[in-house]
Amino acid sequence: MEALAFGGASGIGLKAVDLQIENVSAAFGDHVVLDGINLLIQPGEFFALLGPSGCGKTTLLRTIAGFATTSRGNVLVGGQNVSALPPWRRDVGMVFQSYALWPHMTVGRNVAFGLEERRLPRAEIKRRVDLALTFVGLNKEIDRYPSQLSGGQQQRVALARTLAVAPKVLLLDEPLSNLDAKLRVRVRRELRALQKSLGLTTIIVTHDQDEANTICDRIAVMNEGRVQQVGTPTELYERPANLFVAQFLGMANVLSGRANGAVFESSVGVTLDRGTAADRAVPVFRPQDATLAPPDDTTERGPSFAGIVDEREFLGSAVRYGVRAASNLLWVEAPFHSGAPLKEVGEAVRVNLCPDRIMWLDH
Amino acid sequence: MSAWWLRIVNALFFFALPLTCYAQQPSGKLSVVTSFAKDVTDPVKKAFEAANPAVTLDVQNRNTNAGVKFLEETRSNNQVDLFWASAPDAFEVLKSKSLLQNYKPKATGIPEKIGQFPINDPQGYYFGFAASGYGIMWNERYAKANKLPDPKEWQDLTSPQYFDHVSIAAPSRSGTTHLTIETILQGEGWAKGWATVRRMAGNFREVTERSFGVPEAVNSGQIGYGIVIDFFAFSSQASGFPVKFVYPSVTAIVPANIGIVANAPNKGAAEAFVDFLLSPAGQNLLFDPRIRRLPVNPAAYDKAPAGYPNPFTDPRLNSMVKFDVKKSEARNDAVDTLFDQTITFQLADLKEAAKAINEVEQALAKKSNPQAKALLDEAIAQMTAVPITEEQASSPEISGAFSGGKGKKGARQAELEQQWASFAKEHNAAARAKAAEALKLAK
Amino acid sequence: MTAVEFGSGGKGAAAPRAAFRAGWGQLAIGLLVLAFLLVFLVWPVATVIWVAFTEKGSSSFTLTNFADFARTDLFIRSLWNSFYASAMAVVGASMLALPLAYLTTRYVFRGAKLVQVLGFLPLIMPPFVGAVALQLFFGRNGSVNLLLDDWIGIKIPFMEGLNGVIFVQSIHYFPFILVNLTTALQNLDRSMEEAAQNLGSHGFRLFRRIVFPLALPGYVAGASLVFVKVFDDLATPLLLNVKDMLAPQAYLRVTSIGIADPMGYVISVVLIVASVAAMWASSLATRNIDYATLQRGGGGHAKRELKSLSAVLAYALVFVIIALVLAPHVALLLLSFATVWSFSPLPDGFTVAHYVRVFSDSAGLIKNTLLYATLAGLIDIIVGTAISYLVLRSKIAGARALDLLATAALAVPGVVLGIGYLRAFYDIRLWDGTSLASAWIVIVIALAIRRLPYALRACYAALQQISASLEEAAENLGATKGATIRRIVIPLMTGGLVAGFVTSFATAAVELSATLMLVQTDANAPLAYGLYVFMQSASGRGPGAALGVIAVLIVAVGVVVSQRVAERTRRIDNGSLGN
């Protein structure tokens, strides 16, 4: 079914609104889970909450939905403050990680549930249920029970159930974590296509950076209850705000050492000009921003240091070397074309850094 | 000098004497199954063990039915010496199943009967050691709150003011109550006796399935008036409950019995116990306020406390004209079942009829009306009718139905029960109808 | 734009039933359980019940007795009354249990644990003296009615007739529903509820459409127990002098002296058949629906707060219900300290003399009671788990029959079982010459057999809520079936196991009818027996009440201890707080 037909006025009637999170905090006992979160999500945006386990992203999602009773702060959906409203009046649709389909109801009754709660007329309920199930391609399963469906089908039913009530915002809790790798890639593309076509403001919680990078418009990277940085995938990658973001999105090498006036003396033996970097900032570079040269090659003029190849990972389109230098293990990545020679483990090399590609980051 | 053999005989005799005494001295564990409460068994145990230090009395307390069943089931390796309970019907059952053994107690001076009631089993399988009388017990506070007068005779309980205030134990569950009902039937005659019983029953609030249920309810004040055995009332009073008791002019003497179980492990001690109970020491124990039974040895009453009832001299306990034991036994089951089917299990129905009749009686008390009175009498006759005659009650057909077996003529027990129950139902309905008519006229 | 296709192949959230494994282990367990039931239930009962199928006084087989049963008004009326009372008692018990279960599991409720312990106590009513206490409170001339009569001039017939039976039974057996329903609610996957809330549902609608249907296994377990127990209960009707119900009729006839009356046993057979049929019918209600959840109560952890007015109403409601169901125990307590209590709202005076009197006897009685009840409870949850496992996880034919067979034990009157044990085991001699029937272990088994159905229902409901895939994951990692059961299934079933143990323990501690037949020396006697002996006389009422209070206290302590164990395991289960 055409997304436009489904989401348009003659279908379910979806609208795009913004979502504002204002100074939201939450704690369990004296364990702080969220600490002063502020976010503004644009209408129609596909937004990710990305972070490791325990960073608070699921709690934040549940706060938006109204399930985190110990939270403070405001949540505004389309300009309306819903913080004081119980979950059943917020009109934000949530698809749970376990799908949470009710085993004692058929697929059709599951999807109809929210509509029945809104006391819509019977004919309208039937229309919407048919629409939703057709949209996800499961209208033939309308009388079967969830236990009779496969995992993927169950997820689609959960989605149909949520979309049928035309929520203002769509919340997805780790939707791809139950799927295998190949399927994950396929499904996330479809998710993005769906979201774009429906134009519904959507927030996804995930710990997988590839997922966030490939399908989202903007990402909020979270750690230890705080938003570390908000930006597009490229912004986060190219200009990480701190060490955590740099290391969470993509790989990042941190040079240990000590600041000394205007320069940074790193333990691998190279001295770097600190420029306008903050006092506590340390130099960080990406694997693809350094090159390897034979040990005695001094053609390059930039900062460089010696090391031994300790590990080698073949990635198909690139080769990644783990170079040991003064008890640091630093990763350098080079593109691979067939026929090109590979360095061996144990080989001595020279690592050349590119000074303008060095990021000075704090914790 | 005696011959050497004489000396040996002497020596043997000398040693044997204490040995024989030793052999006759009861010892070891003596096991009793009894339905008597701790209040009775404790003092007796204490006194008996003091008199026979080598014996330990092990008391197993069970209700009479459970006790009988227990003896039946364990007969193959019987571990019980004595069965000690109230009513003779349990003992009759045990006797018929050869679960008791014969003994001739050493006690003297115990007559064959108290009044018209035999004390012992004629074949010597069980013995009465105490007796009690039946009467009416009531709760003073209840009577005061409901402004009811004190009853004196069984007939008093048939009057309308006691409606819904009276309780009794089912004769089928309480041998002693059965004897009381049988006493009424024999005293007043079959038809008239049943009339009294049924009119009394019209005032029942409940029919309990164990004897103690009646005094218990009166003690709590849940029931006002109970038909009970005397020692229940006296022990309640001793415990401080606000209850009173009266013996009607004609009342039953119900015995308490003891029997030695067949193949008793400790026969010697068992016999000693029986003798102890019947001895003056044992008989005197019965005056203990916790026990409060009537000794069967007339001589014991010399030591009785003042005012203690004496069944051998007290006219109320002695005025039964003639109690026919054989007749009572022959129709035992029939009477039990009649009572149950027409009263116990039909109580709600019966009470409806009684209520209707009571209303008429109260109306007539204010304003007399001979026509209404005639109808009332018919109604009462309906309500108190009995499905079988006295002869039928003792007949082999009917008693055969209860004992069962192939080839018996006549109806099965279940059929009889259904017949009698329907009879009662129909007659109650007829009584109600007549009473309604009477009421219309009386008003 | 094409239709969304998410592709299939992901792992399902609900796995189908475990595949058939012809394990010798399972077969062996099944046979063991069958042997246990045959030896300790079927055979003894059969030795007693066969009389129902013979002509009175002879041994020839006949079915006329059953025809007579059908033709007798009294029996048919009793049958109908029993059904009616049982059904209405389920309704009454539900009305009491549902609010308590819901409020204490779904909301932050101070004293929730206390409520759950107190809510259990009505199940433990010591025999005889409990009845007296109840009458003293709720009887026609009991405290409540005397006061009502004084103030308003009316009396409420709490304890009269069939309605009285329903009233008392609802209070007495509502813990079955409370315990089982609470466990089911606590084990519910919270995301199911949250999904519904997210879609706009809340309050009673949410409860009715989502929460309750998903907790149905627990509710049905409890409700079916209430139905069958009320159907088979003879103590309460006799206490209230309602004799036209099946169970009291059976009892009265079986325990009459002398008359070899088959009708008592006929009625026992009818009781057994009807109870089994009721249990079987109730199992139909929860078939075909996959209740297993992967997330065990996890997902959401915070209970909801109660706002001020709702909080006041909630606490008030809970207080009223608890006060009502504990009134008999309060009366019992008063009675144990009373000098004389007769026809007045409160006793005339108070004393500790009764406790002093029972003090010397009670040590041995308490020891025996604890021993018997604990052993019976353990036996019950072991056998109950075995049967549940066989029914729910294996495809052994006849597993369900085992279930029904074990459940039939509910319907067997205690006195019938007692007599049957004597008949069956008295002639079996132990090594020292004493009879098997006089060994105290036989009392334990009799207690265990009669309580097995309770534990079985609790274990069954608990196992139903565990997904088979949780076990399959363990086996996949190399655990044998035995190790899986020990390390995965049993811990996950803890809630149900505790509920089952506690129910068996508590009711075994005050059982009397079978005990009365089997106790042969004072040394073997439990509290209930000591109590019975006291209650045969007027002066024994106080001491009997004292023993009754002691029995209730013991059981209450046992319940608290068991709940602590369950709570600890559940906390480990739910693990970490959220992401």
Query: Same domain, yes or no, for B214 and B330?
Result: yes
The last residue of one of the domains, among B282, B301, B318, is B318
**Does B414 contact C65 at a Cβ distance shorter than 8 Å?**
yes
Inspect the interface and report whether the beta carbons of C302 and A114 lie closer than 8 Å.
Answer: no
| pLDDT, average across residues B73-87 | 87
Q: Are residues B283 and B229 in the same domain?
A: no
Q: Are residues B202 and B270 in the same domain?
A: no
CA distance to partner chain A, nearest, from residue C4 (Å) = 5
Distance, in Å, from the CA atom of C62 to the CA atom of A278, rounded to the nearest integer, reads: 103
Cβ of residue A85 closer than 8 Å to a chain C Cβ: no
Helix axes C129-138, C308-337, angle to 10 degrees: 120
- Residue B383 pLDDT > 60, yes or no? yes
For residue C7, the model assigns a pLDDT of 32
Distance from CA of C5 to the nearest CA of A (A): 7
Closest Cβ–Cβ partner in C12, C191, C197 for A87: C197
Question: Do residues B383 and B263 share a domain?
Answer: no
Burial degree of B37 (CB within 10 A; 0-12, 13-18, 19+): buried
Q: List pLDDT tens digits, range B267-323.
A: 999 999 999 999 988 999 998 888 888 898 888 888 888 878 888 887 766 665 567
Query: What pLDDT, on the 0 to 100 scale, is given for residue B197?
Result: 94
Per-residue model confidence as pLDDT tens for chain C (579 residues): 333 333 333 333 333 333 334 467 788 888 999 999 999 999 999 888 888 888 776 677 888 888 888 888 889 999 999 999 999 999 999 999 998 988 888 888 888 888 888 888 888 888 777 888 888 888 888 899 999 998 998 888 888 889 889 988 898 888 889 988 887 888 788 888 889 999 988 888 888 899 888 888 878 878 988 998 888 888 888 878 888 898 888 888 877 765 567 888 888 888 888 888 887 888 777 665 666 654 444 434 456 777 788 888 888 999 999 988 888 899 999 999 999 999 988 999 999 999 998 888 788 889 999 999 999 999 999 999 999 989 888 877 788 888 888 988 887 878 788 888 888 887 777 777 677 777 888 999 999 999 998 888 888 888 887 777 777 777 766 667 777 788 778 877 887 888 889 889 988 988 887 887 788 777 888 888 888 888 888 888 899 999 999 988 988 888 888 878 777 766 655 543 333
Q: Which of C132, C536, C538 is the closest to B239 by Cβ?
A: C538
Total number of domains in chain B:
2
List the single residue in B90, B405, B415 with the smallest CB-CB distance to C58: B405
Contact A21, A39 (CB under 8 A): yes
pLDDT value, residue C87: 95
How far is the C-alpha of C492 from the C-alpha of C515, rounded, in Å?
A: 34
The H-assigned helical ranges of C13-160 are 24-37, 43-49, 64-71, 73-106, 112-118, 129-138, 143-151
Tell me the per-residue pLDDT of A122-131, one tens digit each, with 9 for 90 and over: 999 999 999 9
Sheet of A31-41, strands arranged across: A31-41, A19-28, A71-77, A80-81
C365 in contact with B at a CB cutoff of 8 Å? Answer: no
- Number of CB atoms found within 10 A of residue A25's CB: 17
Of C58, C429, C540, Cβ closest to residue B39? C540
Q: Is the pLDDT of residue B12 over 70?
A: no
Q: Does C132 touch chain B if contact means CB atoms closer than 8 Å?
A: yes
What is the percentage of chain B residues whose pLDDT exceeds 90?
A: 37
One domain, residues B335 and B314: no
Could you tell me which of C176, C181, C172 has the C-alpha nearest to residue C104? C181
Q: List the subunits that have 3+ CB pairs under 8 angstroms with C.
A: A, B
Look at residue C4 in the predicted model and tell me its pLDDT: 35
Q: Is any Cβ of chain C less than 8 angstroms from the Cβ of B79? A: yes
More confident residue, C563 or A248: A248
For chains A and C, count residue pairs whose Cβ atoms are closer than 8 Å: 164
pLDDT tens track for B336-356: 999 999 999 889 899 999 999
Tell which of A116, A117, A133 to mutate to test the C interface (max C CBs under 10 Å). Answer: A117
Model confidence band, residue A100 (pLDDT cutoffs 50, 70, 90): confident
Q: Which of B99, B139, B413, B422 to mutate to test the interface with C (most CBs of C within 10 A)?
A: B413
- Distances from the Cα of B33 to the Cαs of B29, B30, B258, B293, C118, in angstroms? 13, 10, 10, 19, 39
- Alpha-carbon torsion (A174, A178, A180, A182), positive or negative: negative
Torsion angles phi and psi, residue A13, rounded to 5: 90, 65
**Nearest partner of C519 among C530, C503, C504, judged by Cα:** C530
Verify that B155 and B120 share a domain, yes or no: no
Poorest-pLDDT segment among B251-255, B421-425, C101-105, C504-508: B251-255
Could you give the angle at which helices C414-425 and B64-73 cross, rounded to 10 degrees?
Answer: 20
Report the pLDDT value the prediction gives residue C579, as an integer from 0 to 100: 31
Residues B118 and B175 in one domain: no
Q: Do B239 and B169 belong to one domain?
A: yes
> Which of C343, C357, C425, C517 to probe by mutation at the B interface, max B CB count within 10 Å?
C343
Angle in degrees, CA C214, C217, C218, rounded to 5: 100
Same domain, B23 and B40: yes
CB–CB of C245/C81 below 8 Å?
A: yes
Model confidence at B409: pLDDT above 70: no
Over residues A293-307, the mean pLDDT reads: 82
- End residue of a domain, out of B318, B345, B371: B318
| Domain coverage including residue B383 | 133-252+326-442
Question: Which domains, and CATH codes, for chain C?
Answer: 3-7+17-577 (1.10.3720.10)
Which tokens is C343 given? 């026809």
Residue C214: what pLDDT? Answer: 86
We report the CATH number of the domain holding residue B309 as 3.40.190.10
b/e sequence A55-72, b meaning 16+ C-beta within 10 Å: bbbbbbbbbbbbbbbebe
Q: Choose between A207 and B65: higher pLDDT.
A: A207
Answer whether C214 touches A (CB < 8 Å): yes
Judge whether B89 is closer than 8 Å to chain C, CB to CB: yes
pTM reported for the whole predicted model: 0.78
Q: Which of C3, C302, C304 sits opposite A137 (nearest CB)?
A: C3
Q: Tens of pLDDT along A3-36?
A: 667 777 667 778 889 999 999 999 887 888 999 9
In b/e form, how buried is each residue of C295-330, taking b as 16+ CB within 10 angstroms? Answer: bbbbbbeeeeebeeeeeeebeeebeebbebbbbbbe
Residues 6+ apart with CB under 8 A from B113: B119
Residue A361 confidence (pLDDT) above 50:
yes
Instruction: State which of B318, B340, B371 marks the end of a domain.
Output: B318
d(CA C84, CA A362): 77
- Lowest mean pLDDT segment, chosen from A66-70, A122-126, B12-16: B12-16
* Touch between chain C and chain A: 3 or more Cβ pairs under 8 Å: yes
3-class DSSP assignment, residue C158: coil
C549: which 2 tokens? 């209070």
User: Where does the pLDDT of residue B7 fall: very low under 50, low under 70, confident under 90, or very high at 90 and above?
Assistant: low
Residue C464's pLDDT is 81
Could you give the CA distance from residue B369 to residue B367 in angstroms, rounded to a whole number? 7
Contact B215 C538 (CB under 8 A): yes
Are both B168 and B286 inside the same structural domain?
A: no
Looking at residue B17, its pLDDT comes to 46
B281 and B423 housed in the same domain: no
DSSP strand pairing (A46-50 vs A201-206): parallel
Nearest-by-CA chain B residue for C516: B62
- Judged by CB atoms closer than 8 Å, whether chains meet at C198 and A86 is answered as no
In this prediction, residues A188-193 reach a mean pLDDT of 89
C153 touches chain A (CB under 8 A): no
Residues B337 and B276 placed together within one structural domain of the fold: no
Q: Write a three-state SS string for C358-395.
A: HHHHHHHHHHHHHHHHHHHHHHHHHHHHHHHHHHHHCC
| Span B149-156, average pLDDT | 92
* Pick from C358, C404, C391: nearest CA to C529: C358
